Amino acid sequence: MIHTELLSFFDQNTGVIKGRPTVERRLSDLRSSFVDENAYETALNAGDPIIYTVASVEPATGPGQLHYGLGIIMPGKVGDEYYLTKGHLHAWREAAELYFGLSGQGFMLLEDEHSGQSIAIPLAPGSAVYVPAHAAHRTINTGTVPLSYLGVYPSEAGHDYGAIANRNFGSVVIEHEGKPVVVDRRQYLNDRTAASNTETAEKN
Ligand code: S6P
Ligand code: ZN
């Protein structure tokens, strides 16, 4: 029963879990994640900020064991779209996960890999979000301060980023008239193309 990993100390303000590894994801690691490719290139030309960090604890691995991570996403946007995590499916598709909001305001975007059905669930202090099996999940900071959360998952869950990299999520969370709204990715792209065509026509 005595185990060196039974207790950890996490700091939701810095994203650090004492003595545990932290992964940093910068803007350059998020190529193809944002809906507006021009806005992404413009942002990247201006710098390569850290978008989020994840510190993790892996006390034991095997059937019945749990791992957990402390994530912090910075506030900000690329174009209209709020800063986000890459998003993934679990390599072991049956693995569910629990997210607990610690500080800040945001959403979890969940998308069923078979039906494509998606839902955006608010993530904030005092809320717990259950990520079911077979659900791609992405976390989004829609606030003005860092969003921090804990995610607890089966040790054997693993990450499958490939499926998301190939098709991305069907929905995007953007700022519209000062508020976060969830819109269909294709619809957003079509609307932008239509708007830029109108602009070009008006210039000519
Ligand atoms: C792991 C869990 C989280 C994410 C973290 C970063 O199953 O869902 O710890 O790894 O939120 O997201 P991503 O998509 O870059 O792994
Ligand atoms: Zn996960």
Q: Is 139 a pocket residue for ligand 1 (Cβ < 6 Å)?
A: yes
Residues in the chain: 204
* 157 Cβ below 6 A of ligand 1: yes
> Which residues of the chain form beta strands (DSSP E)?
10-11, 16-17, 22-26, 50-57, 66-73, 77-78, 81-82, 97-103, 106-112, 118-123, 128-131, 135-141, 147-154, 171-176, 179-184
Instruction: Report the separation in Å between the CA atom of 117 and the middle of ligand 1, taken as the mean of its atom positions.
Output: 20
**Does the beta carbon of 104 lie inside 6 Å of ligand 1?**
no
Residues ≥6 apart with Cβ < 8 Å to 84? 30, 33, 34, 51, 73, 109, 138, 139, 140, 141, 173
pLDDT value at position 2?
A: 53
Closest CA to 123 of 139, 142, 102, 107: 107
The predicted model scores a pTM of 0.95
Which of 88, 139, 168 best tests ligand 1's pocket when mutated (most atoms within 8 Å of CB)? 88
Query: What per-residue confidence (pLDDT) applies to 3?
Result: 63
Per-residue pLDDT reduced to its tens digit, 143-168 = 999 999 999 999 999 999 998 998 89
- Ligand 1, atom 14: closest residue by C-alpha: 87
Which atom belonging to ligand 1 lies closest to the Cα atom of 161? 14
| Average pLDDT of every residue of the chain | 95
Q: Where are the domains of the chain?
A: 10-203
For domain 10-203, give the fold.
Jelly Rolls (2.60.120)
> Ligand 1 in contact with 153 (CB < 6 A)?
yes
For residue 198, report the distance from its CA to the centre of ligand 2, in Å.
Answer: 41
Can you list the residues of the chain whose pLDDT is less than 70?
1-4
